[in-house]
């Protein structure tokens, strides 16, 4: 079987673990081919490093889409993250439409804000554009802040500390059950954090958790969503994929050996993630047909 292939549409920061510097090694460690589509290049991520450089690559999205389409490329997933403008979101939507097929999951991490506030670069118009892009998702991975922005709710109303509340908001985000949702930040017992998972295949909501590590670590959401995407294209069920994501993110936070602003110190544990993916692989291979059969490589 060929390695599953994921097109990852994210920005790239030269220093600081987030976006593509998390996505590429994480998927690779899991045995998944990552095909990056950089939306911008930054000298560092925007959290705590002062004035970073910013090279906008929006004008590359359309020609990349056209070239890859001309090559007959096929993907097991398109996975999107932080967007820098409404135009980027529109071009990303075009990319998704160009490569969408039944075997290709669209995983959208609607990166817009945290701790009850949109990021400083996000205008109300951009939040609306992200909500429109999210309509294309097969799997949506918001945190509590992003859930409030997508649903047009006040942040304080999005409570994620009881099963009934988690189920309510996860199902509200599912667009009448037509997309799966992994709602990050659920905390049903003290000292833990995880996610509420609405699975559109079963119509059921389940819960995953891992030990909570105090601190604010940049790139945590990128790591969680990357592990989730990798596990899904390997054939893991949604709840198992989310549980792996929660556990691995928690493990990385517990062994943190660098300043928090540099992001999670995840590289030394990638061997463990790869081992877990490989151990589960025989159970999934029988369920996967060749996803690239017929594609012109």
For residue range 175-189, list pLDDT tens digits in order.
999 999 999 999 999
pTM score, two decimals? 0.93
Q: How many CB atoms lie within 10 A of CB 68?
A: 18
What was the pLDDT predicted at 283? 56
The Cα 241–Cα 222 span in angstroms is 15
Q: How many CB atoms lie within 10 A of CB 123?
A: 12
For the stretch 101-125, pLDDT in tens is 999 999 999 999 999 999 888 999 9
The Cα 162–Cα 188 span in angstroms is 6
Under-50 pLDDT residues of the chain? 285-289, 291, 293-297
For residue 84, which of 133, 50, 27, 117 has the smallest C-alpha distance? 133
Percent pLDDT > 70 in the chain is 94
């Amino acid at each position: 079987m060929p390695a599953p292939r994921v097109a990852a549409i994210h920005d790239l920061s030269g220093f600081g673990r987030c976006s593509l510097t998390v996505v590429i090694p994480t998927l690779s460690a899991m045995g998944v081919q990552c095909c990056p589509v950089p939306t911008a290049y930054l000298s560092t991520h925007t959290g705590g490093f002062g004035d970073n450089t910013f090279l906008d690559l929006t004008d590359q999205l359309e020609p990349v889409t056209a070239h890859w389409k001309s090559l007959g490329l096929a993907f097991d997933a398109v996975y999107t993250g932080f967007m820098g403008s409404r135009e980027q979101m529109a071009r990303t939507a075009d990319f998704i439409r160009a490569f969408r097929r039944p075997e290709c999951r669209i995983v959208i991490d609607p990166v817009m804000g945290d701790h009850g506030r949109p990021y400083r670069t996000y205008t109300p118009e951009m939040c609306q554009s992200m909500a429109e892009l999210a309509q294309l998702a097969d799997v949506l991975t918001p945190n509590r802040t992003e859930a409030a922005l997508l649903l047009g709710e006040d942040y304080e109303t999005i409570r994620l500390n009881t099963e009934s509340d988690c189920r309510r908001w996860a199902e509200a985000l599912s667009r009448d059950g037509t997309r799966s949702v992994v709602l990050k930040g659920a905390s049903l017992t003290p000292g833990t954090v995880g996610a509420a998972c609405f699975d559109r295949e079963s119509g059921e909501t389940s819960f995953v958790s891992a030990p909570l590590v105090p601190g604010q670590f940049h790139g945590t959401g990128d790591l969680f969503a990357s592990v989730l995407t990798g596990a899904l294209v390997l054939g893991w069920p949604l709840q198992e994929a989310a549980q792996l994501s929660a556990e691995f993110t928690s493990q990385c936070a517990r062994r943190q050996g660098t300043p928090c602003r540099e992001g999670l110190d995840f590289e030394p544990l990638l061997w463990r993630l790869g081992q877990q993916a490989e151990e589960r692989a025989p159970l999934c291979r029988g369920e996967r047909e060749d996803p690239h059969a017929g594609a012109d490589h």
